[in-house]
Structure 1
Amino acid sequence: MDPKRLQVAYDLMEKWTVGPNAPVPGGAILVGRHGKVIAPRFFGRQGPEADAGPIRRDAMFYMASVTKPVIYIGAMILVERGLLNLSDRVSRYVPEFTGGGKDDVQVIHLFTHTSGLPDELTNNADLRRQHAPLKAFIAGSIKADLLFKPGTRQSYASAGTLIVAEIIQRLSGKSIREFVHREIIDPLGLKSTGLGSQGLVRERIVRATVPDYQVGTDFGWNSTYWQEFGSPTGGLFSTPEDYAVVCALMMGGGRWGGVKLLSPATVRMMTSNRLDDLPDLPEAVRRTQPWGLGWRLNHLGMADSWGDLLDRQVFGHTGSSGNLVWMDPRTQGFCILLTNYLRARAPWRLVHLSNAIAAAFE
């Protein structure tokens, strides 16, 4: 790593997090390569409030949709055990998922966001306002109407991830939270990570800037309800160091330290463009919006690209709470950017940081 170029990213984050009216309340940057990491740097405040204290060095961040790849890792564990086939219709595992074209939805469509399912449910806010349990969100996803014929378009669908979580629950006989902890978090020794905040020290959790519809409610990202909910679509809490283990696992072909969680074959399939496997998907979509199995690949030339110096082999995920994680198979490097500002309000900030960090790899 070129330390001077890496310092550019640190200086940008420092500039954006200084002062009570800083555009980014707080954040952290961690960069690693070949399974090793540079110590994380922390910036700004523990919350968006003007009087919030300095960010803790043991801060745990709300990972939002960076949760999703962990859920898909869990599903791929079941594939390796011969319990789940991606080419099967979803209705084989969830028989009530039928009608309105849903009989044609394959499991792989859920992994690649090509199922036709919506992102959020139409009654998402009402369910949260009622403090509804996870099963209500899953039931709504199963009943949801398709927006298009499966495999013909791509549209990011959190509802699809909820159905994957339900498939995991039915095949394993465990709740999604228990499965993720037993099969992923505990074997990897992640002591500061949880699907849901139960068992974590709440004071360590970085308070997020919430979307407008959550302001003044008791169901927002910072509420006890949502933090303990443990949504498979966005309920993970973690530290930069802990999530670096997930990155090192993927960079290591499914192995980290003495733990082998996935096979190299699984990692290759998860991190290469699986849209090429879908015959009815337009060529332009396959080429410019590549997805692996649960992991997204960089969308060069698109508005949601992660950076100008990252090619289409780079994989990772973003989170609406202001997070971006990516891994580069060519350099064996990875980047973890965690913040507590709303990414949608200025997605270019993470891209600027990403460009500076990508330039630091020799």
Structure 2
Amino acid sequence: MAGTCRVEPDFQPGRGVQYQSMGFAILGEVIARVSGQGCADWLNSQVIGPLGLESTRLGASDDWFDGERPMVDRIAEIRTPPEQEGVDWNWNQRYWRQLGAPWGGLLTTPRELAVIGRMMLEGGRGVISPASVAAATCNQLSAMADVPEADRRCKPWGLGWRLNWPATSANFGDLLGPATYGHWGATGTLMWIDPDRDTVCVILTTEPQEPHGRQIAQLSNAISASLV
């Protein structure tokens, strides 16, 4: 956290927007200080437990590595990029799997991630409030006068969720409506939630994202086009 706080901002607060892992690192620390629990423990008690998710954790606990058939054996191996070869901290190492990074450390299954998506479609399902769902899924940039107008209109963000960007096909593809929101991950993952079609799409692969998300966008297009 100290290292995160030493990083120079790319722009003054309120004057731009971009996804940044360190923002979620700070959010995890805020959750820990406000709740008095670690971010992973808070997520277990407030979201994972109430939803009945048995194969979802923010970081693997030690018991996932124990026994004749350890839970960790169910975790798919990611095809690591060259810069991660030969190091003890890459995506397939115990260090990363147990780190529980708020920006990318969630371990889950397609079905259980879809349960989280359904929770959002159903107004929070008693886990989070409908007001929080509404705030998280509307364009939070619209009231930020110092953010460039093109970003406010064409690259909207909610709270944590990226809303669909009509002029940008990366990751989400070309066929989703303006109400769609979701997120993607560097290891080749994507989830989008389409309220207009009452649909949750979960794509979990082992192929790291290429820079513009074209491959996963093509798959997203195929899935979206198949919905009738």
Query: TM-score with structure 2 length normalisation?
Result: 0.93
Partners of 2:114 and 2:202 within 8 A in 1:
yes
Q: Distance in 2 between matches of 1:150 and 1:215?
A: 36
2:89 corresponding residue in structure 1: 219
2:67 corresponding residue in structure 1: none
How big is the alpha-carbon RMSD for the aligned residues of Structure 1 and Structure 2?
A: 1.4
Q: Deviations over 1:312-353 (max 9, x none)?
A: 211000001000100111111110011000112672221111
Q: How does 1:134-173 map to 2 (within 5 A)?
A: 138-173=1-36
Q: Distance in 1 between matches of 2:82 and 2:11?
A: 29
Matched, 1:253 2:119: no
Paired residue secondary structure (1:334) = strand
Partners of 1:298 and 1:305 within 8 A in 2:
no
Matched, 1:317 2:183: yes
Which gives a bigger RCO, structure 1 or 2 (Cα 8 Å, sep 6+)? 1
Q: Distance in 2 between matches of 1:146 and 1:162?
A: 15
Q: Distance in 2 between matches of 1:303 and 1:351?
A: 7
Matched, 1:243 2:113: yes
Q: Residues 162 and 207 (structure 1 numbering): CA distance in 2 closer, same or farther, change over 3 Å?
A: same
Paired residue secondary structure (2:184) = strand
Partners of 1:299 and 1:305 within 8 A in 2:
no
Q: Which amino acid aligns with 2:106?
A: L
Q: Which residues of structure 1 form unaligned runs of 5+?
A: 1-137
Q: Deviations over 1:184-221 (max 9, x none)?
A: 11111110011111143111000111232211111101
Q: How does 1:1-362 map to 2 (within 5 A)?
A: 138-198=1-61, 199-200=63-64, 201-255=71-125, 260-302=126-168, 304=170, 306-344=172-210, 347-362=213-228
- Bigger Cα Rg: 1
How many equivalent residue pairs? 221
Q: Distance in 1 between matches of 2:14 and 2:182?
A: 22
Q: Which amino acid aligns with 2:155?
A: Q
CA positional deviation for 1:168: 0.6
CA positional deviation for 1:241: 0.8
Q: Residues 246 and 225 (structure 1 numbering): CA distance in 2 closer, same or farther, change over 3 Å?
A: same
Partners of 2:190 and 2:204 within 8 A in 1:
yes
Q: Which amino acid aligns with 1:292?
A: G
Q: Distance in 2 between matches of 1:345 and 1:274?
A: 26
Q: Which residues of structure 2 form unaligned runs of 5+?
A: 65-70
Q: Which amino acid aligns with 1:245?
A: V
Q: Residues 278 and 346 (structure 1 numbering): CA distance in 2 closer, same or farther, change over 3 Å?
A: closer
Paired residue secondary structure (1:317) = strand
Determine what percentage of the aligned residue pairs are the same residue.
Answer: 40
CA positional deviation for 1:303: 5.2
Q: Give structure 1 regions of 4+ aligned residues with deviation exceeding 6 angstroms.
A: none
Q: Distance in 1 between matches of 2:9 and 2:86?
A: 32
Q: Deviations over 1:119-161 (max 9, x none)?
A: xxxxxxxxxxxxxxxxxxx221122211111111112211111
Partners of 1:247 and 1:334 within 8 A in 2:
yes
Q: Distance in 2 between matches of 1:302 and 1:223?
A: 34
Paired residue secondary structure (1:231) = coil
Q: Distance in 1 between matches of 2:105 and 2:81?
A: 16
Q: Which amino acid aligns with 2:188?
A: G
CA positional deviation for 1:176: 1.0
Partners of 1:290 and 1:312 within 8 A in 2:
no
CA positional deviation for 1:356: 1.3
